[in-house]
Structure formats: structure tokens, C-alpha cells
Homo-oligomer: A and B are copies of this chain.
Amino acid sequence: MAANIFSEKHQILFYETDRTRRVTPGMLVNILMLASQDQSDELGLTSQKIHAQDLGWVVTQHLLTIERLPQLKEKVIVKTQATAYNHYFCYRDFWLEDQTGEVLAKMHSTFILMDQEKRKITKVPTELIAPYGSEYTPKVERVAEPEKFNLEKMAASKDYRVRFMDIDANQHVNNVHYFDWIVDALSEEFLINHQIKQVNVRYKREVHYGELVTSRVDQPLTVKDSKMSITHHQIVVDQQESCRAQCLWEKNENQ
């Protein structure tokens, strides 16, 4: 039996966009996650209920592929499906479609359940995943990981202090805020002249309130004979890797 697909409508608000009038990558992930939050609420598996059991859903990886970033005021449809799970990992797909049904973005995400007290991964109880129609599989997925960050190739790094509003109900920085750190490490000139096409982000360690985060990026590597470039990213706290990411970019048409 295939897992239930949950879908809902959304219209892009001005504060979900940047000066290019397109949704920011971080906001795109927020918008996609609306569907999983609302699916959970509809099934009575609210985050409050999960937290009352001293548990919390935590993202360990997103693979986001973007056909086109939706624009200010555009009406979109968000869809999600909790496809499969094993003892420790739950896999979920997301889609964003425009009014004509064309797919604007897709995301494949891995979630774990965290014991809020021990700050450790815990087995997924069937009653927290079965209602989604998710299929049990003993297989652990091997989603390609972002390449290791090569410090010798670092081209820029920026520091950010974790703010009060970056922290979510799991008492750590919400996975979405890393997208702003990743994107902002690149230069203004690069960001204005390129469209983001893919982000593979792998979360390694939690980041907490008040910590100083360093966002590192290498020189964009142009893919031979194409308009595409690749960037590698690393988020570091106290010299320890918190997150690693790899992005694919397309140069704008008029360049």
C-alpha cells in the first residue's frame, strides 16, 4: 500500500521572497514542510504530542531539487508523502507544483526521532509512523552525501551568532536556518547572477542558542561546457562540523 499523499495550497507572501522577487531557498523548505506539519496535525500526531513524550522529529538530510523558484504572489500546491521507514530512519518526499500541475521543486528528506532528554536518536515507535501509511523496510537508504569540504579550497567564510528566533521546539537551530547561512556565504554578485538548482544538505551535529557558527564555502566550480556551477559548504561550530552541503547553480540567461 502506498503512503498517503497530503496536499495543501499556499500563496507566496512578500516576506518569503528576496529582492529578486523569488522565494528564498530557506523559505522554500519552510513552505514544503507546511505540508508535513499539517499532515501530522490532521493525523493527531501534533508536535506537542510528540514533545510530550520527550521526543522530537529531527531532519538529518534534505535533497532539494528546484526547477523554478516560485515568485511573489504565485499560487502553489505543496504535497508530501512519508514513503518508508525502518527502525531509526523515516523517509519523506515533498513536491511543489504550480497552478498547472507543473513541478517547481522536489525534496527527499530523512528524519529521525530524537530523545529530547538524552539528545540521542531513538527507535521509531510504530504508532508514530503507521498513521502516515508509511511502509516498513529493513533497508537503510543510501542517499548520496555532499562531498567532504576541502578546507584548502575555502574561498570565503562568514560568522553568525545563533539567535533566539533560530531555535525551534527541539531546543536547537531549526534545519531551515542553515539554508540562509549556506546561501549567504556566497557573494552578492554570485547570488544575483545565479539560480539555485539543487541543495544536498546533511546535518551532523546540533547547533544551540548563542553559539557562533562559521559558514564556509569554496570557489564555485563551473561544470565544463555548461551554465552550471557547484559549490561546497560547511557549517562549523568550535572547529566541529555541524553540517555539510553541496549546491548546484545555473547562471542566469542574460549573463
Chain A interfacial positions (CB closer than 8 Å to B): 13-15, 18-19, 21, 24, 26-27, 30, 33-34, 37, 41, 73, 158-161, 163-165, 167-169, 171, 176, 180, 183-184, 186, 188, 191, 209-210
**Interchain CB contact under 8 A, A188 and B159:** no
- Give complex CA distance A83, B169 in Å: 40
Question: How many copies of the chain does the oligomer comprise?
Answer: 2
**Interchain CB contact under 8 A, B18 and A33:** no
The listed residue (B15, B33, B209) touching A14 by CB distance below 8 A is: B33
**Shortest beta-carbon distance, A66 to chain B, in Å?**
16
A34-B13, A34-B14 known; A165 vs B183 contact (CB < 8 Å): yes
**Shortest beta-carbon distance, A15 to chain B, in Å?**
4
Top-5 shortest CB links A-B = A15-B30, A163-B184, A18-B165, A164-B184, A19-B169
**Interchain CB contact under 8 A, B164 and A161:** no
**Interchain CB contact under 8 A, A210 and B188:** yes
The listed residue (B19, B164, B180) touching A188 by CB distance below 8 A is: B164
**Shortest beta-carbon distance, A210 to chain B, in Å?**
7
- Give complex CA distance A37, B72 in Å: 11
Instruction: Across the interface, name the chain B residue whose C-beta is closest to A27.
Output: B15
